[in-house]
A and B are shown apart, each in its own frame.
Chain A
Amino acid sequence: MSDTLGTAAVGRGHRGALQAGDAAHAASPAPRPRKRRGRGRLRLEIALLSGPAIIVFVGLVIFPVVLAAYYGFYRWQGYGAPTDWVGLNNYKVIFTDPAFQQALEHNGFIVVLSLVIQGPLALALALLLNQNIRGRGLIRVLIFVPYVISEVIAGTGFSLMLQVNGAVNDALHNIGLGFLATDWLANPSIAIWTLMGILTWKYVGFAVILMLAGMQAIPDELSEAARIDGASYWQVQRRIVVPLLGPTIRIWGFLSIIGALQLFDLVYIIWGQYISSTAGTSTMATYMALNGRLAGNYGYGSAVAVVMFLISITVALLYQRFVLRRDMRGAVTEGVN
């Protein structure tokens, strides 16, 4: 409804745009019934157009996964073809290695805390930025900037600032909060919270943008009607905006969980190749890089990759089955119909 109004409003101002829009509208909703020959052509077209993407996907995603599964059964240093078949031994070692268990715990910790910290924070910021406040554009940009900065630059910057003699501790001393100064990166009981702080700073902008976009899609009529019926601002947000934002929040949760499970770059940049397990910030991916590539155990590393893949895909499928199921059926439109 509102979409049509918007197009018409734009069209009034720009003649050309109106015509182009009309043409597109006329073309898409009513496809003429095709003949048999046409359907064969359509299939061919689909095959040809999707072919390159499928080949690249199979060649660069599926094929490597299969290869990793294959290498995972060997003790292999990466030179020549693998010959030393060890069956499931690599997997046995992975699941009995305390270092892997710790990495898995850190991943779980990050998954949960990302949802618990970033979710409410992003929702609050999005609600705030959905208001007509001064400097809204600027604040939106500022919140989104960390997400745009590359992980390497953000990580290098934080690792310099958070050194014992770094800018953060200096600033704390200068404002009289010197007792708060600590070894942010190397103290095992603090490092993972430092990491959570950096992750929140880095990724909350993405969540805010997603939720803002979701709020834009909620028709104004609903809240207008509620307000006419006497609902307060908070009632409108709680009863209308947040429930209708559900699909967006659930999709964001999905992306956040997968990102947290596969977290690698920030940890690798800030804590380097070796000390993340010492500092208590290791993840499955840094464990894989350390014990696979750096140790030259490509067979073992492949097995770790397979384990990571299976964990991620299990979580993803469970989430889709139990959390996203409603959205797949179109929970928003259901109420309207």
Chain B
Amino acid sequence: MRVGALNIVLSFYSFFLSILYVPVFFNGATNTRWIWLALTTPILILCLEKQKFTLLHFIGLLFLLLSCISLNWTFNLYDSIEALIKLLIIAQVFVLGSKLKDLRPIFIGLAIGITISNFNLPSGLFVNKSMLGEAALLTIIGLFIYNLWWFIVPVVPAAILSGSRGVVVGFLSALVAYTWNKNKAIAILLIVLILSFVSASFALNIGVGSIKERIDMWVDSFKAFSFWGNGIGSFHAAFPYYSDNIDTLKYRPTYAHNDLIQIMFEIGVFGLILAITFATTLLKTNSNEKYIIIAFLVMAQFSFPFYMPVSVFIFTLVAGHMSRNWNCLFSEAPTGRVLRMEGV
């Protein structure tokens, strides 16, 4: 396969991911996307050359191993197996990202797909407006990094009109990080402006709905923390047992709306350490892709992008791509593939 052909395949791969929605299917906006990733990613991985095994691969593998072990003490085995399957899909996307030399076609495909969602805002083909907003923001940052200016314009309405506060905070964090590298004085001024804006919105009680519920949820989740965690994917099953502040008969959360808290809840101290190590290792690099990682990590403090197929796809693909900057942990792997993609 030639480079041009591969780029077209990758664009279609990400394009279909961003438009897949089957209304008659249960959870038609998320399950169909997980299925698409599960079916197509292994084929792409097999078609590309083998890559080196880096420190990031090792941390990811440990996280996967710990998640598997946590099946032994989980609250609900069925939920845990489902979460583990999704984690394996995410791991595949990471491996694919580490094999790709250029992510431009991926972001072009995503931009075209998200543009289609503009016809039915605020949620479009993502059903959930936060899910659309998060995917749109990460795509915009990716397009910005790769200088694909013309594709940014049609994606912007999806990010703005989704009305997600997490998206705004994620964008501002990436902007501050970018400005910090260029001019620290302007970055500090920006931080002061953002903090005053946040304080004003709290004082005037504008846009602060559901914050109390989230804090209640986090407080209840803290009570459930244990050294080994409650098992991967157990948040939904175990939360009512520990909850004191939320009427679980009216509202039973599936996600903690803070991915670090959820990882601590499910996989325990080691899971949290591995997740933080993974993130900090990624942020050490000087590549521009780190702004996507920053935006994702900030949004993950108020929402659950790690559990949504498109946003976690962008994050892990970029993380995998960034792992190319790291040295191989072991000796170089021999390449023995039948299909080679020279120059890709």
A and B assemble together: no
- B interface vs A, CB < 8 Å? none
- A interface vs B, CB < 8 Å? none
